Amino acid sequence: MNRPDHVHVERVRYADTDQMGIVYHARYFEWFEAARTELMRSMGIAYRQLEEEGVFMPVVEAHCRYRLPVKYDECIRIKTTIGEVTRAKVRLDYKICGENDDLARGEGYTVHCFVGKDGKPRRAPEDVLVFFQNNVE
Amino acid sequence: MNRPDHVHVERVRYADTDQMGIVYHARYFEWFEAARTELMRSMGIAYRQLEEEGVFMPVVEAHCRYRLPVKYDECIRIKTTIGEVTRAKVRLDYKICGENDDLARGEGYTVHCFVGKDGKPRRAPEDVLVFFQNNVE
Amino acid sequence: MNRPDHVHVERVRYADTDQMGIVYHARYFEWFEAARTELMRSMGIAYRQLEEEGVFMPVVEAHCRYRLPVKYDECIRIKTTIGEVTRAKVRLDYKICGENDDLARGEGYTVHCFVGKDGKPRRAPEDVLVFFQNNVE
Amino acid sequence: MNRPDHVHVERVRYADTDQMGIVYHARYFEWFEAARTELMRSMGIAYRQLEEEGVFMPVVEAHCRYRLPVKYDECIRIKTTIGEVTRAKVRLDYKICGENDDLARGEGYTVHCFVGKDGKPRRAPEDVLVFFQNNVE
């Protein structure tokens, strides 16, 4: 079965741009964050609530390839898919597209582990794990 | 007695710029933060330690007037002075100057209150209060 | 006649928070930026297009009063009104409210002048001026 | 011959932290930027001047692995080395260490191409290329 991509839309702010007249590269990771939060919400997991229950998912790896410049005031769509899931880690994949086309402006991924309130690694809660596994691309 | 200004130097990053080719206005407030932390350190107060002791100083008001553009890779000097101190609040004043001149690129202030770990207002600890009062401009 | 507020919604990102567990104060100015861009768009002025026509509106003053903490994953509404308009300057006023209530989390303003591609002050184009004047609070 | 690492120091700002009480992952890329600018300056290349001469080095790929949390007010050292150089691309490698130890808090790289004022790919200027090649790790 093909899992549908989860799509999150962002409008480029002036704050996102740099003097090259394009979006500063580090900003893409904030979009990735917003996109995965919405992906999780769409699956029934509010990340905020996870933290309230003592489960944190810090980023342990982040990557982005920049293909085409993204400009001020553009609407971009971030397509997020779940790439890999284990008890210890989750990898999410992102593709940044234009408002009306699927041409990749950029592509990236983030890897997350699970830690407790004490900052120590822990296994993913069973229900969270199942949620992720059921939605792996 | 005239208190000497505390001067903190920052080098403008590409990340600080926007497509107007100048520093994005919100970034000044990060410089103000870095500058007041160093001012406090120079007075013998490590803000980090204050927090560890349960004293937080959130920003309750922030203001900046932008006079001259600040550009990529410039070194700027932020002069910080203590403007006003009460048991409940502290106001810090900032002036952003060039590396080699005192021409104001911008001027601003931040007002801070004191809160405890519970987020509720509290009075400034006696020693912190004295430190600030002894250094009021 | 009472002009209706323009309302812009933002969801708080993790990137917006700091270790106090609330939104970092400088981030509010990015919300203000997004909000005024949408206000202008709703009035028929695409700021991006203004710049393409050689009209820039840099921030010359920015202010914010922080009243109640804003937390991760909250939806906030930014109500923007046009406070004052002259040929030389425009002041925009912002109020940050909760998703479902009008309690002010924060209030602020930004003042903008008009400059040309050369960075030199210029008067507001007639149509832009009229747009702003017709929508003053 | 072993090229010495170039070391750039940053003090963690409150603005860099998130509600996990550690530095937000996207911020590392701003440190990488500051670090490579200083590396280039130490080799005799002011990136600002390069741009003035019409040579831009946008990021085409960025990666970071996060090993240990970095906290507020810490001083970190970013060691930058030149990983790979061709006429079309340069890869820079970064290692984030503590103030007094070489334990990696994080490691990453950025890949840069060369473009002209028109945003179109161009070859690296001869002297820049030589500078980079002479300093490859």
Tell me if B30 and D48 make a contact (CB, 8 A cut-off). no
Least confident window among A92-101, B122-131, C109-118: B122-131
* Chain centre to alpha carbon of residue B47: 12
Instruction: Answer positive or negative: Cα dihedral of C92, C95, C96, C97.
Output: negative
Question: Among all chains, which residue has been given the structure tokens 């008890």?
Answer: A87
Name the token pair of B2.
């005239």
Mean pLDDT, to the nearest integer, of A29-46?
95
Q: Please check the confidence at residue A1 and state whether its pLDDT lies above 90.
A: no
Mean pLDDT, to the nearest integer, of C21-35?
98
Name the token pair of B44.
């013998």
**Cβ(C20)–Cβ(C78) below 8 Å:** no
Buried b (16+ CB within 10 A) or exposed e, A64-81: bbbeeebbbbbebbbbbb
d(CA D114, CA A68): 14
Instruction: State the amino acid at position A45 in one-letter form.
Output: I
**Cβ(D93)–Cβ(D81) below 8 Å:** yes
Q: How many Cβ atoms sit within 10 Å of the Cβ of residue B114? A: 20
Percent of chain C beyond pLDDT 70?
Answer: 96
pLDDT value of position B137: 81
pLDDT value of position D1: 41
DSSP character string of D13-81: PGGGB-TTSSB-GGGHHHHHHHHHHHHHHHTT--HHHHHHTT-B--EEEEEEEE-S---TT-EEEEEEE
d(CA D100, CA D9): 11
Q: What pLDDT digit, counting tens, does each position of A46-67 carry?
A: 999 999 999 999 999 999 999 9
Name the token pair of D85.
């150089």
Tell me if B26 and C27 make a contact (CB, 8 A cut-off). yes
* Strand A59-66, strand A104-113: pairing: antiparallel
Task: Check if A102 contacts B (Cβ < 8 Å).
Answer: no
Q: Which residues of C touch B25 (CB under 8 A)?
A: 29, 58-59, 62, 110
Please identify among residues 34-93 of chain B the ones whose CB lies closer than 8 Å to any CB of chain C. Answer: 56, 58-66, 69
pLDDT value of position B3: 56
Strands (E), chain B: 6-11, 59-66, 75-85, 89-98, 104-113
Query: What is chain B's mean pLDDT, rounded?
Result: 94
Q: What does pLDDT average to in each consecutive run of 10 residues of chain D (137 residues)?
A: 74 98 98 97 94 97 98 98 96 97 97 95 93 90
Query: What is chain A's mean pLDDT, rounded?
Result: 94
pLDDT value of position A4: 52
Closest CA in chain B for residue D17: B30
Secondary structure (3-state) at C80: strand
Name the token pair of C46.
């695409």
Tell me if A66 and D60 make a contact (CB, 8 A cut-off). yes
What ipTM goes with this model? 0.95
- pLDDT classification of A5: cutoffs 50, 70, 90: low
**Cβ(A42)–Cβ(B41) below 8 Å:** no
Tell me if A33 and C11 make a contact (CB, 8 A cut-off). no
**Cβ(C76)–Cβ(C96) below 8 Å:** yes
- pLDDT classification of C5: cutoffs 50, 70, 90: low
Instruction: State the amino acid at position A20 in one-letter form.
Output: M
Instruction: State the amino acid at position B28 in one-letter form.
Output: Y
d(CA D57, CA D48): 11
Q: How many Cβ atoms sit within 10 Å of the Cβ of residue C43? A: 14
Read off φ and ψ for residue C93, nearest 5 degrees.
Answer: -115, 140
The CA-CA-CA angle for residues B97, B84, B44, to 5°, reads 75
Q: Which residues of D touch B73 (CB under 8 A)?
A: 37, 46-48
Q: What pLDDT digit, counting tens, does each position of C95-107 carry?
A: 999 999 999 999 9
pLDDT value of position C89: 96
d(CA C100, CA A81): 31
Q: Residue D43: exposed, middle, or buried by beta-carbon count in 10 A (0-12, 13-18, 19+)? A: middle
pLDDT value of position B40: 95
pLDDT value of position C26: 98
pLDDT value of position D56: 97
Q: Give chain D's end-to-end CA distance (angstroms, integer).
A: 9
Q: What pLDDT digit, counting tens, does each position of C40-67 carry?
A: 999 889 999 999 999 999 999 999 999 9
Q: Please check the confidence at residue B1 and state whether its pLDDT lies above 80.
A: no
* Residue ranges in chain A assigned as alpha helix (H): 28-42, 47-52, 126-134
Closest CA in chain D for residue B31: D13
Q: Pick from B123-127, C78-82, C132-136, D3-7 the range whose average pLDDT is largest.
A: C78-82
Q: Residue B50: exposed, middle, or buried by beta-carbon count in 10 A (0-12, 13-18, 19+)? A: middle
Q: Which residues of A touch C48 (CB under 8 A)?
A: 72-73
pTM over 0.90: yes
Q: How many Cβ atoms sit within 10 Å of the Cβ of residue B121? A: 12
pLDDT value of position A137: 81
From the candidates D5, D18, D93, D101, which is the catalytic residue? D18
Task: Check if B1 contacts D (Cβ < 8 Å).
Answer: no
Q: Please check the confidence at residue A3 and state whether its pLDDT lies above 70.
A: no
Mean pLDDT, to the nearest integer, of B95-106?
97
D73 is catalytic: no
